[in-house]
């Protein structure tokens, strides 16, 4: 049971840290000001801790079901947390928190959730046995050291980065304008 909890913690920690780092990079690439620096270190640690908590739960489930805890935690936590974050960013940044009326948005979300679940099952099946082989990432101390190293490197490197990539800039205004504040009247009526 202890090995399952440790492997689950490691898988969840790595999955959460990966989701956090990806979201921080996406948020930075869509930043609105030159002073914004990537929050990769913060996101890696905080999302990693959230993922670790989910990984411990996955370790308990794996112990009950008799399956690989590392693979289950990495796939399950990564898919779940990744779907939640992606859904939030799409609704906020793409649809400006104004989903179109009708059942189509619900159908699209169900299809996307099904695709994410299928990808999670594929990852889980591909990684089965990692815990039994005692691979390095499936050990909690190694996973913690890896996340700490990435967070430290990102924190040290963030001092050298002060603006999003040039691809995010608009030639007319200098920066992309992503949303119109909700307190202003819409120019499109």
> Is 102 part of any domain?
yes
Contact 11, 73 (CB under 8 A): yes
Structural domain of residue 46, as residue ranges?
2-168
Alpha carbon distance, N-terminus to C-terminus of the chain: 61
> Is 149 part of any domain?
yes
Q: Hey, what are 67's tokens?
A: 């399956």
The CA-atom distances, in angstroms, between 170 and each of 4, 33, 165, 166, 178 are: 50, 12, 11, 9, 11
Residue 137: phi, psi to the nearest 5?
A: -65, -20
> Is 156 part of any domain?
yes
Residues 6+ apart with CB under 8 A from 63: 1, 4, 5, 69
CA distance 176 to 96: 15
| Residue 53 predicted with pLDDT over 90 | yes
pLDDT of residue 90: 85
Q: Is 55 or 97 the better-scoring residue by pLDDT?
A: 55
> Is 185 part of any domain?
no
| Residue 43 predicted with pLDDT over 70 | yes
pLDDT of residue 58: 94
> Is 181 part of any domain?
no
Q: Hey, what are 157's tokens?
A: 């490197």
> Is 182 part of any domain?
no
Element (H, E) at 22: helix 2-29
| Residue 165 predicted with pLDDT over 60 | no
Residue 129: phi, psi to the nearest 5?
A: 100, -10
Tell me how many domains the chain contains.
Answer: 1
- What's the rounded mean pLDDT across residues 96-122? 87
Q: Is 58 or 30 the better-scoring residue by pLDDT?
A: 58
| Mean pLDDT over each residue of the chain, to the nearest integer | 81
Contact 49, 42 (CB under 8 A): no
């Amino acid at each position: 049971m202890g090995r399952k909890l440790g492997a689950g913690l490691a898988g969840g920690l790595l999955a959460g840290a990966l989701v956090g780092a990806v979201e921080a990079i996406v948020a930075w690439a869509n930043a609105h000001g030159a002073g914004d620096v990537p929050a990769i270190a913060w996101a890696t640690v905080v999302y990693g801790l959230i993922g670790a908590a989910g990984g411990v739960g996955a370790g308990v489930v794996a112990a009950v079901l008799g399956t690989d805890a590392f693979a289950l935690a990495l796939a399950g936590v990564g898919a779940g947390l990744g779907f939640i974050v992606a859904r939030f960013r799409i609704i906020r940044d793409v649809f400006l928190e104004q989903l179109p009326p009708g059942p189509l948005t619900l159908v699209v979300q169900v299809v996307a959730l099904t695709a994410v679940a299928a990808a999670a099952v594929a990852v889980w099946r591909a990684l089965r046995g990692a815990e039994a082989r005692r691979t390095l990432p499936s050990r909690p101390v190694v996973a913690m050291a890896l996340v700490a190293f990435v967070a430290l490197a990102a924190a040290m490197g963030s001092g050298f980065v002060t603006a999003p990539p040039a691809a995010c800039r608009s030639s007319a205004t200098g920066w992309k304008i992503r949303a119109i504040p909700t307190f202003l009247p819409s120019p499109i009526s």
